[in-house]
Structure 1
Amino acid sequence: MSKLVTGAAVVVALWSAGAMAQAKYGPGTSAAEIKVGQSIPYSGPASAYGQIGKAETAYFKSLNAKGGINGRKINFISLDDGYSPPKAVENARKLVESDDVAVVFNVLGTPLNMAVRPYLNQKKVPQLFIAAGATAFNDPAHFPWTMGWQPNLQAEAAFYAEHLLKSRPDAKIAVLYQNDDFGKDMLHGLTAALGDKAKKMIVDSQNFQATDPTVDSQLITLKNSGADTLFLFTYSKQAAQSISKLDDLNWKPTTYLHLGAASVGATFKPAGLEKSKGILSAGFLKDVTDPRWANDEDVKEFFAWMKENLPQADINDSLNEAGYMYAKTLEQVLRQAGDDLTRENIMKQAASLKDFRLPLLLPGSTINTSATDYRVIKYMKLQRFNGKTWDFVE
């Protein structure tokens, strides 16, 4: 009898040890939940982008309703930073030190992510899938806890330069750029890609502060430069102002727009759909409003999700689609992490995505990350806005 009891005790002990070995938790994680933090502008000059946070909130809520991730609910704490770097730093400290989150997710804007990056790397907190494309955010050797998501800014600018050099090598270029790391990174990418032709082709460049009320004076100056091509390295507010001002000035340059501002709802509708016709931008997502994708199963699923979870949102606003995709990427990483929910393993899984296919990426695009290459989205196609949707430019 004593041998049976002893044997049972050994089995129980081994089972308990195995169960303990299976689940490893770090800050913000437990058998019940995974805490995810965010700082994003629900107010201020970039408040249009707060819609991303709203879509992500809805996504995690819908995910929790289905049981969460590996049986754990997502506790999503999304704070307003007003597009202010000091406020973003304050939020990051609160999320880490008070809210005890496992990861800080999808902070928007190059200057804000630059501001919080040193702190989060010092604390070894994953700064995942940020909504900023600065080339500096693919630097795992120096900042191993920071990973971007969208195509990096210099690669995007070079993508436009390559098209321009092939189609109109004698173009006269004007550039409007935000006077921070974001705008300067894009300007650098354009200049580098144009190479020896840059000094001759770029006839003028004007910058602005994110808090400036308008960019009218800059557009007037750029028109007077004699340029026939315009690069808008801006976010949605200034992009809409620029498109509207171009119409006022009756200036019709070939216009390339930063992909982060290429939103029908946040940019083209405020500017005027007719005024926005002809705008060029890099695409990497399916335009869900385009009839070409009407029978696409992934697009149908997205529409059904929107109807159920964000019924009041503008279906034309691509920021809803962006939030949906960011959230799905984080979901994949957390699923891969399984029961090892330490910050170290979450970061390891983010850098171990293999042929991962997000449903609304353009055909031909898959995600592969590694410990030495943190770039998530690499595939782009040039597209032109036709007043309603986008046409691919071959």
Structure 2
Amino acid sequence: MRITTTSRAAPAAASIMAAFAAAMAMAASPALAQKTYGPGASDTEIKIGNTVPYSGPASAYGILGKAYGAYFKKINDEGGINGRKIVFISYDDAYSPPKTVEQTRKLVESDEVMAIVGNVGTAANAAIQKYVNAKKTPQLFLATGATRWNDPKQFPWTMGWLPSYHAEAAAYAKYLLKEKPGAKIGVFYQNDDFGKDYVKGLKEGLGDKASTMIVMETSYEVSEPTVDSHIVKLKAAGVDTIFSFATGKFAAQSIKKVAELGWKPLHIVPNASSSLGSVLRPAGLDNAQDVVSATFAKDPTDPQWKDDPGMQKFYAYVEKYIPEGKAMESTVLSGYSIAQTMVEALKQCGDDLTHENLMKQAANLKNVQLDGLLPGVTVNTSPTDFSPIDQFQMMSFKGERWQRFGEIIKGETPTAVR
């Protein structure tokens, strides 16, 4: 709070009384006295930004940026965060790390945002990680589950949101060792940190059996127009279990090609590529039967959630704020949940809206229940654990929806190893 005074002669007693009155006013309004702002925050607004691939090979994830914006508009319509409106600035990076760097510099240096929120993709986020940490700008709740986001010592300004890819893959390994210990595994993965984290988790989960169970590994680049040749090679190698550690478009291609070959392996895809609208429908629902994955969130297409209070809020949000997201509700729910987590952290900031306090609050989320998470799954962080979600459940695709099975599993959340 700024106090201005004018230079004017006054009796000593009057000066004393004025000072006393000012002190009493400060004491009566501690919240006003303690307002603290950093870049991107003021009495009226909180400015946050991100980059997502609205175009390019991963454009299916562009709906996430629209989902964030729609949720923040909903919050603004309800009065904002402690009376402040969220100004959300989202740029297209086309899933190209150099473009992510360019757009992020614009957000930080020109737009002066308070934080970068919900950026999509491991490679894109890795490209800006050192930069935003040097700038001490929070890089929060990223739409990627790479292990490298859980490294509070080296990167204290970066925090992921999705469960660790490493932990998810380790869970698949445990499932496989129990259900199909003699599997001949083919690993198909994206040649970047996204794919490599999954491969590492799978091998560590299989332990000393990895060398005998994994028959073949093949990687693809996101610049490849089709991955059909990789799937053909895996079939020729005698594989009976395939892991498609791929992003949406490429996971869909792998599911479709497996079916075209008349091949019936156990096919496991990551949670990030389990969306009904952006992956399974493009692949063909008939082709996707019995595909296995894991989840930590409710499935908006599953009728079992139609009377769930949290999902009723989500359906109302889609109807009013992002009706074009109905065909991709699973991905939209991820965007809704990431934005909801960001709002929770901002609320905890109160009137101390600095980069430092936002990061402090983001690292002190305790048992936060989000509308879209499975019962029993909550958001938890600490100054030494930057992995907000580490619980999930196995599921298999049957008919037109995913069916969950087994218990809620608490996954491993290793910090990044350098």
- TM bracket (short chain): over 0.9
Contact 1:158 1:193 in 2 (8 A): yes
Aligned mates of 1:109, 1:196 — CA distance in 2? 31
Contact 1:48 1:236 in 2 (8 A): yes
Alignment of 1:253-292 (within 5 A): 253-292=265-304
Aligned mates of 1:168, 1:57 — CA distance in 2? 43
Q: Deviations over 1:353-391 (max 9, x none)?
A: 011111111111112110000110111000011131111
2:75 matches 1:35: no
Aligned amino acid, residue 11 of structure 1: A
Q: How many residues are paired up?
A: 394
What displacement does 1:301 show?
1.4
What displacement does 1:245 show?
0.5
Aligned amino acid, residue 324 of structure 2: Q
Q: Which has the larger radius of gyration?
A: 2
What displacement does 1:135 show?
0.7
Specify the alignment match of 2:152 in structure 1: 140
Q: 5+ residue gaps in structure 1?
A: none
Specify the alignment match of 1:240 in structure 2: 252
Counting aligned pairs with the same residue, the percent is 51
Contact 1:266 1:317 in 2 (8 A): no
Specify the alignment match of 1:7 in structure 2: 17
Aligned mates of 1:16, 1:99 — CA distance in 2? 33
Specify the alignment match of 1:158 in structure 2: 170
Aligned mates of 2:192, 2:181 — CA distance in 1? 28
Aligned mates of 1:193, 1:271 — CA distance in 2? 29
Identify the match of residue 58 of structure 1 among 49, 59, 70: 70
Alignment of 1:206-245 (within 5 A): 206-245=218-257
Alignment of 1:125-204 (within 5 A): 125-204=137-216
Specify the alignment match of 2:364 in structure 1: 352
Specify the alignment match of 1:84 in structure 2: 96
Aligned mates of 1:136, 1:301 — CA distance in 2? 33
What displacement does 1:226 show?
0.5
Specify the alignment match of 2:410 in structure 1: none
Contact 2:231 2:254 in 1 (8 A): yes
Aligned mates of 1:144, 1:349 — CA distance in 2? 13
Aligned mates of 2:150, 2:273 — CA distance in 1? 21
Q: Deviations over 1:96-139 (max 9, x none)?
A: 00000000011111111111000000111100001111111100
The TM-score, its normalising length taken from structure 2, stands at: 0.92
Q: Deviations over 1:289-346 (max 9, x none)?
A: 1111121111111111111111232244311111100000000000000000010000
Aligned mates of 1:232, 1:153 — CA distance in 2? 13
Aligned mates of 1:193, 1:171 — CA distance in 2? 14
Structure 1 SS opposite 2:317:
helix
Aligned mates of 1:143, 1:184 — CA distance in 2? 20
Specify the alignment match of 2:5 in structure 1: none
Contact 2:31 2:351 in 1 (8 A): no
The TM-score, its normalising length taken from structure 1, stands at: 0.97
Aligned amino acid, residue 20 of structure 2: V
2:110 matches 1:98: yes
Aligned mates of 1:66, 1:368 — CA distance in 2? 26
Aligned mates of 2:403, 2:136 — CA distance in 1? 43
Query: CA RMSD of the aligned region, Å?
Result: 1.5
Aligned amino acid, residue 170 of structure 1: G
Contact 2:313 2:371 in 1 (8 A): no
Structure 2 SS opposite 1:380:
strand
Aligned amino acid, residue 330 of structure 1: M
Contact 2:58 2:95 in 1 (8 A): yes
Specify the alignment match of 2:338 in structure 1: 326
Contact 1:41 1:49 in 2 (8 A): yes
Contact 2:318 2:326 in 1 (8 A): no
What displacement does 1:277 show?
1.1
Identify the match of residue 23 of structure 1 among 35, 38, 54: 35
Aligned mates of 1:173, 1:91 — CA distance in 2? 40
Aligned mates of 1:149, 1:21 — CA distance in 2? 34
2:341 matches 1:304: no
Aligned mates of 2:325, 2:178 — CA distance in 1? 39
